[in-house]
Chains A and B, each alone.
Chain A
Amino acid sequence: MCVTELVQLHDVAEALKSKGGRTLAICVDDPKDSKRVVEKHQLNLSILADQNHEVIQKYGLVKPGAPPDAKDITVPAHVLIDPSGRIVWRYKSKLVQDRPDPAEIRKAIDAL
């Protein structure tokens, strides 16, 4: 279900590429699984492995004890950063199932 989100970001990632940018997905899973996912779904983005939770802590996105195995994972979130390092658009899910409309991300990319 969560991989669906990455597949749906295909056009958004292409739009960012045309501006010289890059889409980086971040999760706490094993990078071996990430490689399989990228190949299987032919994703046009990279998946970074935050296995020590260092980055999700820095960004204030730790969701403690999530099912199925009560491991800490990330709160679903999006951050669009301009080349100066400034955050120009962000989204954080309030409920587990919340996801942003890709059209909204697209608008923020077009405004870069």
Chain B
Amino acid sequence: MSETLTPRGRGWPIWIMLILTLSGPLVYMSFMKNPWVRSTGAPMFAIMALGAAGGLVVAVRSRKRWVGAIAGVNVLALGFMLVGFFYMSRLPADPAFAALTTAPDFTLPDESGTPVSLSGELAKGPVHLVFYRGHW
């Protein structure tokens, strides 16, 4: 009985929550140069969680179906990002790398085609190897 007397909340704030949720990945891309942002995605997930939770509150208060649908989109977007970030992007855990104590020697051409050997470089000083994914 009391439920029918409760005034329905406004539906329009759901758009703010949608924009908030969708801005999460943009924030991530913009601040990717920061290693902490890049590795944890924390600011993105905080913003998206805020948008998803806020959307649910708006949906429950307004009790309108279309508002509920958009709140659902927010939650799905957050879920999609979580799966992509923490599950799809997992890398193989080859124990061989952790087991190395000395660095295996190799010879590879540098960008000018000159062969570079690890042992030859170590004869001159310490070496920092950076294995990276490519130029794209």
Residues of A within 8 A of B (CB): 1-6, 8-9, 12-13, 16, 19-29, 31, 33-38, 45-50, 54-56, 58-64, 66, 68, 73-87, 90, 92-102, 105, 109, 112
Task: Please report whether the interface of chain A is mostly helix, strand, loop or mixed according to DSSP.
Answer: mixed
**Residue on B with the closest CB to A112?**
B126
Most buried by A among B109, B124, B133: B133
Task: Tell me how many residues of B have a C-beta within 8 Å of chain A.
Answer: 52
Q: Apart from A26-B131, A86-B101, what 16 extra A-B contacts exist at CB < 8 Å?
A: A6-B132, A22-B121, A25-B131, A27-B134, A31-B110, A48-B109, A49-B110, A63-B91, A75-B97, A76-B91, A77-B129, A80-B126, A80-B128, A93-B91, A96-B91, A97-B39
Most buried by A among B93, B102, B104, B126: B126
Q: Could you tell me the distance in whole angstroms from the C-beta of A10 to the nearest C-beta in chain B?
A: 12
B92 at the interface (CB under 8 A from A): yes
Evaluate contact between B32 and A1: CB separation under 8 angstroms: yes
**Residue on A with the closest CB to B93?**
A94
**Residue on A with the closest CB to B121?**
A22
Q: In the complex, A93 Cα to B89 Cα: how many Å? A: 10
Q: A residues within 8 A CB of B104? A: 55, 58-59
B96 at the interface (CB under 8 A from A): yes
Evaluate contact between A81 and B108: CB separation under 8 angstroms: no
Evaluate contact between B94 and A61: CB separation under 8 angstroms: yes
Evaluate contact between B90 and A60: CB separation under 8 angstroms: no
Evaluate contact between A21 and B91: CB separation under 8 angstroms: no
**Given that A46-B110, A81-B122 are known contacts, is A4 also in contact with B91, CB under 8 Å in the complex?**
no
B103 at the interface (CB under 8 A from A): yes
Bitwise, B14-37 to A at CB < 8 A (1) or not (0) is 000000000000000000110110
Q: Which 10 A-B pairs have the closest CB atoms?
A: A60-B96, A20-B125, A21-B126, A34-B111, A96-B89, A48-B108, A60-B94, A60-B97, A21-B125, A35-B111
